[in-house]
């Protein structure tokens, strides 16, 4: 049987990466918006085509920013679920042990579940940007 080892902090790191990519695309979108404001200065023959071009790209970039943000949020939620399930599994296993062995199973404390998407657990590891 295959084993699945999921490291919640790696999942959180991937979520942070997605959010960073979304911020990069948002920055590029703002540059595009600035450039599109100059379209009327190009003259009446090309202004319409340039405006449509910028509008199409701005719409596409907006969709990419939303997708990156959604991916980051989903990965944060998944990390929280993994932590919660790991804690529950450890507690269930300890409840099956004889009382004399109950405390012996934990070599280090189980971390608290990730309850807030605004808190950044990676900061506790010293990995904040």
Written as six digits, the tokens of 101 are: 């062995």
Query: Which residues in 25-56 are b (16+ Cβ under 10 Å) and which e?
Result: beeebeebeeebeebeeeeeeeeeebeeebee
Q: Do 111 and 84 touch, CB atoms closer than 8 A?
A: no
Q: Do 106 and 93 touch, CB atoms closer than 8 A?
A: no
Query: What pLDDT sits at residue 117?
Result: 47
- Tell me the domain boundaries of the chain: 8-124
Residues with pLDDT less than 50, the chain: 1-2, 105, 109-110, 112-118, 124, 128-129
Cβ atoms within 10 A of the Cβ of 86, count?
Answer: 15
**16/69 Cα distance (integer angstroms):** 9
Q: Do 64 and 98 touch, CB atoms closer than 8 A?
A: no
**112/127 Cα distance (integer angstroms):** 18
Query: What pLDDT sits at residue 4?
Result: 53
Query: What pLDDT sits at residue 120?
Result: 55
Query: What pLDDT sits at residue 6?
Result: 63
Query: What pLDDT sits at residue 101?
Result: 58
Q: What is the pLDDT of residues 83-110, one digit of tens each?
A: 888 777 777 777 777 666 555 545 554 4
């Amino acid at each position: 049987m295959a084993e699945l080892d999921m490291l919640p902090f790696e999942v959180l790191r991937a979520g942070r990466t997605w959010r960073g990519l979304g911020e990069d695309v948002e920055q590029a979108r703002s540059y595009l918006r600035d450039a599109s404001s100059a379209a009327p200065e190009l003259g009446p023959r090309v202004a319409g085509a340039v405006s449509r071009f910028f509008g199409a790209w701005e719409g596409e970039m907006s969709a990419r920013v939303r997708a990156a943000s959604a991916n980051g949020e989903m990965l944060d939620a998944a990390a929280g679920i993994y932590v919660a399930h790991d804690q529950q599994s450890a507690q269930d296993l300890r409840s099956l042990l004889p009382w004399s062995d109950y405390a012996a199973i934990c070599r280090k404390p189980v971390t608290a579940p990730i309850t807030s998407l605004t808190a950044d657990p990676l900061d506790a590891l010293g990995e904040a940007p």
